[in-house]
């Protein structure tokens, strides 16, 4: 849970069900590029839209493809704590390296309830747990006090934050958390700045689709090479623009076919990209290959 973690889509058929065998090549591309880890069944991996059985099958396929080449972090968030705990046990038994736990919600959750969720999942396995802080999808906002309280659970060792606000946020969060606690960011367009500001991890949607190019940007940021970061980031800007407008989930599904991967679309009622955005995406993909 340090460095660059790539979060691929789970390619799905027109009904929204996973295409067997289609996750494995995405994992292998990340291993080939040398990413630090692969995050399976995150928001971009569509965990929320799959049944428990489908989630187990996708994870097993990803772990088989990863072998010893790249550690796999498994997204195990669920509306019900019992399901999250079962998925945690399955991930541990299957060889995952860590867990990503989102406090998915329908009825809005109280802080104590979110603490219960993490405690229950922590009881279910010995794997390290990354707190998935993503208010735009889970509709739960972590206070810094709750993050610090969760970090008292021995296996809760990392956080995946949403879009970086001000760069000073990283140091403030670090000061509030125990020593060695890993601070990472998502929302790709803010992540080079987060790494430059001292974050430990970039949890990256782009890393799941364009692993080599994203790794180059991540390594420049980890090295503190601001000029190189600015240069590489400019090449990603058309992708970031699509991510901001349509989300990484819709955008990466739309990119899969043109990239020569298993053609995929997000589960209905989510729509593929509109035609004009698709044209922008094709141009953005082209520009990244240069």
Instruction: List active site positions.
Output: 132, 160
Name which position in 2, 28, 69, 120 contacts its own copies (CB under 8 A).
120
Cis before residue 269, ω within 30 degrees of 0? yes
Assess 250 for contact with its own copies (CB under 8 A): yes
Q: How many residues bind its own copies (CB under 8 A)?
A: 34
Residues 7-46 that bind its own copies (CB under 8 A): 15-16, 43
Which residue's CB is nearer to its own copies, number 104 or number 193? 104
Which residue's CB is nearer to its own copies, number 80 or number 226? 80
Name which position in 24, 25, 34, 137 contacts its own copies (CB under 8 A).
137
Residues near 180 by beta carbon (within 8 Å), at least 6 away in sequence: 157
Question: How far apart are the C-alpha atoms of 9 and 98, rounded to whole Å?
Answer: 18
What the block records as the tokens of 181 is 């606690």
Please report how close the Cβ of residue 214 comes to its own copies at its closest, in angstroms.
21
Question: How far apart are the C-alpha atoms of 286 and 290, rounded to whole Å?
Answer: 7
Q: What angle do CA 173, 227, 252 make, to 5 degrees?
A: 70
Helix (H, G, I), strand (E, B) or coil at 130: strand
Name which position in 267, 278, 285, 287 contacts its own copies (CB under 8 A).
267
Please report how close the Cβ of residue 125 comes to its own copies at its closest, in angstroms.
17
What the block records as the tokens of 269 is 């009622």
Neighbours of 163 (CB within 10 A): 15
Assess 238 for contact with its own copies (CB under 8 A): no
Which residue's CB is nearer to its own copies, number 32 or number 112? 112
Question: How far apart are the C-alpha atoms of 65 and 67, rounded to whole Å?
Answer: 6
Please report how close the Cβ of residue 273 comes to its own copies at its closest, in angstroms.
11
Report CA torsion sign: 124, 18, 16, 45. positive
β-pair partners for 220: none
Residues 77-116 that bind its own copies (CB under 8 A): 79-82, 103-104, 106-110, 112-114, 116
Which residue's CB is nearer to its own copies, number 234 or number 271? 271
Name which position in 21, 136, 144, 178 contacts its own copies (CB under 8 A).
136
Residues near 21 by beta carbon (within 8 Å), at least 6 away in sequence: 61
Q: What are the backbone angles phi and psi of residue 191, rounded to the nearest 5°?
A: -80, -35
Contact positions toward its own copies, by CB under 8 A?
15-16, 43, 48-49, 79-82, 103-104, 106-110, 112-114, 116-117, 120, 136-137, 139, 247, 249-250, 266-271
């Amino acid at each position: 849970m340090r460095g660059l973690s790539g979060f691929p889509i789970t390619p799905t058929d027109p009904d929204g069900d996973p295409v067997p065998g289609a996750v494995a090549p995405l994992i292998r591309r990340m291993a080939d590029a040398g990413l630090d880890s692969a995050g399976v069944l995150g928001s971009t991996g569509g965990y929320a839209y799959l049944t428990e059985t489908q989630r187990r099958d996708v994870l097993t396929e990803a772990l088989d493809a990863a072998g010893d080449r790249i550690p796999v972090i498994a997204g195990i968030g669920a509306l019900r704590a019992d399901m999250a705990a079962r998925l945690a046990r399955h991930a541990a038994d299957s060889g995952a390296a860590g867990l990503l736990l989102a406090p998915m919600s329908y009825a809005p959750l109280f802080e104590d309830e979110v603490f219960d969720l993490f405690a229950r999942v922590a009881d279910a396995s010995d794997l390290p747990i990354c707190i998935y802080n993503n208010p735009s999808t889970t509709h739960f906002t972590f206070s810094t006090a709750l993050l610090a309280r969760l970090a008292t659970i021995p296996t809760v060792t990392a956080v995946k934050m949403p879009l970086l606000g001000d760069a000073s946020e990283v140091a403030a969060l670090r000061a509030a958390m125990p020593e060695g606690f890993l601070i990472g960011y998502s929302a790709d367009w803010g992540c080079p700045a987060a790494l430059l500001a001292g974050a430990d991890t970039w949890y990256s949607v782009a890393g799941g689709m364009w692993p080599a190019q994203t790794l180059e940007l991540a390594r420049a940021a980890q090295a503190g090479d601001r000029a190189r970061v600015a240069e590489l980031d400019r090449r990603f800007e058309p992708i970031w623009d699509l991510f901001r407008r349509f989300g990484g989930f819709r955008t990466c599904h739309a990119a899969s076919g043109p990239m020569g991967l298993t053609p995929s679309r997000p589960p209905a009622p989510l729509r593929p990209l509109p035609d004009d955005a698709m044209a922008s995406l094709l141009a953005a993909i082209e520009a990244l290959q240069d």
